[in-house]
Amino acid sequence: MNSISSDFRALLSTETSAAVPRISAAEMFNAPENHALYELWTQAPADPAVYRNRRIAVVATDGVEEIELTTVLHFFRTRGASVDLISPRKPSYPSMFGLQIPAIRETHILTIHYIETAGWIQFDKLIDDADAKNYDAVIIPGGAWNPDALRADPLVLAFVRAVAENQKIVASICHGPWILADAGLLKGRRATAWWAMKNDVTNAGATFVDQAVVVDGKIITSRAPTDLVPFVEAIGAQLR
Q: Is 31 exposed, middle or buried (0-12, 13-18, 19+ CB in 10 A)?
A: exposed
Buried b (16+ CB within 10 A) or exposed e, 154-192: ebbbebbbbbbebebbbbbbbbbbbbbbbbebbeebbbb
Contact 172, 139 (CB under 8 A): yes
Contact 213, 230 (CB under 8 A): yes
First vs last Cα of the chain: how many Å apart?
29
175 catalytic? Reply is: yes
Rounded to whole angstroms, the Cα distance separating 67 from 72 reads 8
C-alpha distances (whole Å) from 136 to each of 128, 173, 174, 217 are 18, 18, 21, 14
Active-site residue, from 74, 108, 113, 174: 174
Rounded to whole angstroms, the Cα distance separating 234 from 240 reads 10
**Which amino acid is residue 227, in one-letter code?**
D
Instruction: Name the pairing type of β-strands 108-113 and 116-122.
Output: antiparallel
Residues recognised as catalytic: 174-175
